[in-house]
Amino acid sequence: GQSLEQPSEVTAVEGAIVQINCTYQTSGFYGLSWYQQHDGGAPTFLSYNALDGLEETGRFSSFLSRSDSYGYLLLQELQMKDSASYFCAVRGWGKAAGNKLTFGGGTRVLVKP
């Protein structure tokens, strides 16, 4: 099976940097994705790492290390609108994983003035 662990909540002030860690256990996967979800809204795609290393998309960066079964999402220059829940997710391959997209429990980020 697949399981992903994230911290439940992070609080930071505007302009700060926040790192959300994701550790996972999986038999095999295409890559690690990150999604943002505002209260009452749909999850929206943020970033994807197919290979080890850092991917940068504006103020958001994501990192993957397959050897360490670990990834993180880095949010820079925090803004009030970044207050939301953030989920890491993997899509597995093979018979056991079945191509399903499995999510972590989510990290609630609260940005304060």
Partner 1 sequence: GAGVSQTPSNKVTEKGKYVELRCDPISGHTALYWYRQSLGQGPEFLIYFQGTGAADDSGLPNDRFFAVRPEGSVSTLKIQRTERGDSAVYLCASSLAPGGAEAFFGQGTRLTVV
Q: Where are the alpha helices (DSSP H) in the chain?
A: 94-97
Tokens of 95: 């018979």
The site string for partner 1 over 74-93 (x = CB under 8 A, - otherwise) reads: -------------x---x-x
Residue 106 is a binding residue for partner 1 (CB under 8 A) = yes
Q: How far is CA 67 from CA 23, 28, 34, 64, 99, in A?
A: 11, 12, 19, 9, 21
The distance in angstroms from the start CA to the end CA of the chain is 41
Among positions 23, 48, 70, 110, the unique one binding partner 1 when judged by CB under 8 A: 48
Least Å distance, CB 78 to partner 1, is: 22
Least Å distance, CB 89 to partner 1, is: 8
Binding-site ranges for partner 1 (CB under 8 A): 30-31, 33, 41-45, 48, 50, 87, 91, 93, 98-106, 108
